[in-house]
Amino acid sequence: MFDFTLDAAEGSARAGRFTTPHGEIPTPSFMPVGTLGTVKALSMEEVEALGARMVLANTYHLYLRPGHELVRSLGGVHEFSRWRGPMLTDSGGYQVFSLAGTRRIHDDGVEFKSHIDGSAHSFTPEFVMEIQRALGADVVMAFDECPPGGCDRATAERACARTLAWLERCAKRFGELGCEEPGPSQALFPVLQGNVFDDLRDEHARRVRELGEWAGFGIGGLSVGEAKPDMWRTLEVLDDALPTDRPRYLMGVGYPDDLLEAIARGCDLFDCVAPTRNARHGTAWTSEEGQVNLKAARFRDDTGPLDAACDCATCGRYDRAYLRHLVVAGEWLAMRLLSIHNLRFLVRLGEEARSRIGEGSFDGWRRDWLQRYRKEGSRQ
Amino acid sequence: MFDFTLDAAEGSARAGRFTTPHGEIPTPSFMPVGTLGTVKALSMEEVEALGARMVLANTYHLYLRPGHELVRSLGGVHEFSRWRGPMLTDSGGYQVFSLAGTRRIHDDGVEFKSHIDGSAHSFTPEFVMEIQRALGADVVMAFDECPPGGCDRATAERACARTLAWLERCAKRFGELGCEEPGPSQALFPVLQGNVFDDLRDEHARRVRELGEWAGFGIGGLSVGEAKPDMWRTLEVLDDALPTDRPRYLMGVGYPDDLLEAIARGCDLFDCVAPTRNARHGTAWTSEEGQVNLKAARFRDDTGPLDAACDCATCGRYDRAYLRHLVVAGEWLAMRLLSIHNLRFLVRLGEEARSRIGEGSFDGWRRDWLQRYRKEGSRQ
């Protein structure tokens, strides 16, 4: 039910196809985040129309509200959210570790308090597998410990050891659940840790690979505050350490320029809340002007589209003057129209990278694209 | 360019067609409110898809933001908002009178402070015509004084006198603007005042009719806090006082039951923010259960549509369990899906009333409908 085919490669950049029970994802591919079973402000028809192929949902959030057992009884997260294509649920680990001050980590798992009502909860590797089984996404992520960017080596080492121990427990429970009950066909991705310590990354990846034949790998512990050159170097270490015939999902990335840098270093799948969070602040990405904020006075009477090179529903129908008006007035429609554009921008970037890799023109295109984007972005 | 044809009548209820430069509106018809050139949370494609024929925009809001001259330079409110059908702008009178404590009324007009930044502004009848000319909607409303519901007779009399004096000034300036410059073809509707004093209403309507050949009439000063029986009686007074061959727009109404009561008393056009405001609070109207709030625990695992009798996009695709989840989690999509449903509910009520009036079965249907709706509503 799960397969990854490499169609082309250029340097470390790869054009592949990841097959899941709910369909195929041509890679590289950006995955919109549908935290609570909805991509903020959008309908799933809109998410589909903008070309997204796989959608994320958050285990932590759905566990708290409406509850994983309710989602199961309603037919699982696909049926619940009306997304018919491939889905992935994260492990909730990143969320509960972010609850600084209200969570306690120990070897068995994490105790934490709900951000909604302060009620006490506990995640163990086994329980997280049970929750994700109930949600029923195609890809489920192992429960890992993600230390903050800039942590010292000893902290990173401890997190790697714990993540490895938890991975064994996740894999065991995941296997049991697949045998015990009827349910969806799912694949478990391990999450790779090791911060920006090259030898730790290499060692951790090797030990994870020894634990099983994984259908794909999650790359965790990046985009958490480390310097960009450290992130790129770490991806290069992992590019050597990971098998080429499995998809690599770089978690929490990212911005358009980060996406291209990571694609160049062999990453295939991505997710980030930036497209929708930026939309909420009136910020949009453009091909020719980099990142712009629609509140700027210069857009007041600008009757051009947000991005003349974009094929999204927003750019096809609305002009900058109207979008600026909606943003300034705080209208709900602003959030929606900018989200559609920003998501399409990243999805299209993946599509174009794939096509360029197929032609062997990816690297030159990427350099030109980044130079133009960054130059314009720095002028804002 | 403006015409009103009566296709059928049953008692005082009328099925008509109101023709405007941007198209025909079969009446009775509910008009969604697009305050700032957007119906909150919806795209104009969605507004069109739910069957709305005419959309409102608010003069006060567009004057403050983005400014009527900017809207004019961008091609007028149709081009600006991407609504291609008939549009109506209110006079802004109701909004500035609502700014209690920050506005001063005198015979020449109203001085008020912006709700956005406290800046000082002044509306006169002439200026309001100029703003609405710049916005360019099909129907523009005269600048009137709307006293609060429950005001004494002397207050209502003074408001009638001032409204009449202002109407003369509006009509004069409206005529000048139509001659002076090229621009859209527009119709000016007077606004009828007189609170719930029958003789004042009758007298005021008579004097307004003496002032000109109006293309239609706005019924103001109702749904502002008076008792429902007073509102229905006042509409009966006006039904006798107004010509049958002109559309009657009951301003600020309303809820589904109010809509049917007003249609039975000869009203043709309606507007209200209730459908979208209620959506924001998780409230929806249903044919069989009256008004419901999606937060109710009984909807937690309800896999039925919000309203089995409804043909809207929300009821066609989503179930109550998912809608409840979105409402409880405060998701943006909740506002949007419930707005689509609530607006379609009122639009469909107008459509069915029209069809029933054509068949001569309106009155019995209305009684049955109201009895069922109110019985169920009272159980909530």
Instruction: Supply angle C-alpha B243, B244, B249, rounded to 5.
Output: 85
Per-residue confidence (pLDDT) for residue A102, from 0 to 100: 79
Q: Give the single-character DSSP code of A299.
A: G
Residue A302 near chain B (CB below 8 Å)? no
Residue A335 near chain B (CB below 8 Å)? yes
Closest partner residue to A322 (CB to CB) among B80, B324, B325 is: B80
Q: Residue range B272-287: average pLDDT?
A: 96
Residues of B with CB below 8 A from A66's CB? 300, 321, 324-325, 328-329
pLDDT digits (tens, 9 = 90+) for A107-163: 999 999 999 999 999 999 999 999 999 999 999 999 999 998 889 999 999 999 999
pTM equals 0.95
Q: Residue B330's Cα: distance from chain center in Å?
A: 27
Per-residue confidence (pLDDT) for residue A377, from 0 to 100: 54
Q: Residue A276's Cα: distance from chain center in Å?
A: 13
Residue A40 near chain B (CB below 8 Å)? yes
Strands A283-286 and A290-293: antiparallel
Instruction: Supply angle C-alpha B264, B269, B275, rounded to 5.
Output: 95
Task: Report chain B's terminal Cα–Cα distance, integer Å.
Answer: 47
Per-residue confidence (pLDDT) for residue A379, from 0 to 100: 45
Per-residue confidence (pLDDT) for residue B179, from 0 to 100: 84
C-alpha distance from B42 to closest chain A C-alpha (Å): 6
Tell me if A40 and B331 make a contact (CB, 8 A cut-off): yes
Tell me if A318 and B66 make a contact (CB, 8 A cut-off): no
pLDDT band with cut points at 50, 70 and 90 for residue B155: very high
Residues of A with CB below 8 A from B73's CB? 301
Tell me if B65 and A328 make a contact (CB, 8 A cut-off): yes
pLDDT digits (tens, 9 = 90+) for B309-363: 999 999 999 999 999 999 999 999 999 999 999 999 999 999 999 999 999 999 9
Per-residue confidence (pLDDT) for residue A27, from 0 to 100: 98
Per-residue confidence (pLDDT) for residue B379, from 0 to 100: 45
Q: Residue range B24-36: average pLDDT?
A: 97
Residue B38 near chain A (CB below 8 Å)? yes
pLDDT digits (tens, 9 = 90+) for B178-195: 987 678 899 999 999 999
> Are B205 and B175 in contact, with CB atoms under 8 Å apart?
no
The verdict on whether A268 is a catalytic residue reads no
Per annotation, catalytic residue among B90, B138, B239, B268? B90
C-alpha distance from A34 to closest chain B C-alpha (Å): 11
Per-window interface: A 54-83 vs B, CB < 8 A: 65-66, 70, 73-74, 80-82
Residue B1 near chain A (CB below 8 Å)? no
Residue A247 DSSP SS3: coil
Closest partner residue to A332 (CB to CB) among B40, B65, B321 is: B40
Check pLDDT > 90 for residue B308: yes
Residues of B with CB below 8 A from A329's CB? 36, 65-66
Q: Residue range B280-297: average pLDDT?
A: 96
Residue B265 near chain A (CB below 8 Å)? no
pLDDT digits (tens, 9 = 90+) for B66-89: 999 999 999 999 999 999 999 999
Per-residue confidence (pLDDT) for residue B377, from 0 to 100: 54
Residue A215 DSSP SS3: coil
Residue B166 DSSP SS3: helix
> Are B109 and B155 in contact, with CB atoms under 8 Å apart?
no
Which has the closest alpha carbon to B91: B53, B139, B150?
Answer: B139
Residue A328 near chain B (CB below 8 Å)? yes
Tell me if B332 and A40 make a contact (CB, 8 A cut-off): yes
Per-residue confidence (pLDDT) for residue B96, from 0 to 100: 86
> Are A255 and A231 in contact, with CB atoms under 8 Å apart?
no
Closest partner residue to B335 (CB to CB) among A325, A329, A332 is: A332
Per annotation, catalytic residue among A138, A258, A271, A307? A271
pLDDT digits (tens, 9 = 90+) for B228-275: 999 999 999 999 999 999 999 999 999 999 999 999 999 999 999 999
Find, in chain B, the residue whose alpha carbon is nearest to that of A336: B41
Q: Please give the mean pLDDT across all residues of chain B.
A: 95
CA–CA distance, A182 with A240 (Å, rounded to integer): 38
Residue B43 near chain A (CB below 8 Å)? yes
CA–CA distance, B126 with B180 (Å, rounded to integer): 14
C-alpha distance from A326 to closest chain B C-alpha (Å): 8
- Structure tokens belonging to residue B169: 């000034």
Find, in chain A, the residue whose alpha carbon is nearest to that of B66: A325
Which has the closest alpha carbon to A56: A17, A95, A10?
Answer: A95
Per-residue confidence (pLDDT) for residue A376, from 0 to 100: 63
Pairs across A and B, CB distance < 8 A: 95
> Are B134 and B71 in contact, with CB atoms under 8 Å apart?
yes
Residue A100 near chain B (CB below 8 Å)? no
Q: Give the single-character DSSP code of B298.
A: G
Helix A228-241 vs helix A256-264: angle between axes, to the nearest 10 degrees?
30
Per annotation, catalytic residue among A90, A138, A239, A268? A90
Residues of B with CB below 8 A from A328's CB? 65-66
CA–CA distance, B258 with B251 (Å, rounded to integer): 12
Tell me if B38 and A331 make a contact (CB, 8 A cut-off): yes
Per-residue confidence (pLDDT) for residue B182, from 0 to 100: 77
The verdict on whether B3 is a catalytic residue reads no
- Structure tokens belonging to residue B178: 């139509």
CB-count exposure of residue B202 (10 Å: 0-12, 13-18, 19+): middle
Question: CA-CA-CA-CA torsion for A65, A71, A73, A79, nearest 10 degrees?
Answer: 150
Tell me if A332 and B37 make a contact (CB, 8 A cut-off): no
Residue B42 near chain A (CB below 8 Å)? yes
Per-residue confidence (pLDDT) for residue B252, from 0 to 100: 96
Residue A295 near chain B (CB below 8 Å)? no
Residues of A with CB below 8 A from B65's CB? 325, 328-329
pLDDT digits (tens, 9 = 90+) for A302-352: 999 999 999 999 999 999 999 999 999 999 999 999 999 999 999 999 999
Point out the residues of chain A with pLDDT beneath 50: 379-380
> Are A56 and A33 in contact, with CB atoms under 8 Å apart?
yes
Residues of A with CB below 8 A from B331's CB? 36, 38, 40
Per annotation, catalytic residue among B144, B257, B271, B307? B271
Residue with tokens 């290069």: A236
Best mutation target among A63, A70, A74 (most B Cβ atoms within 10 Å) is A74
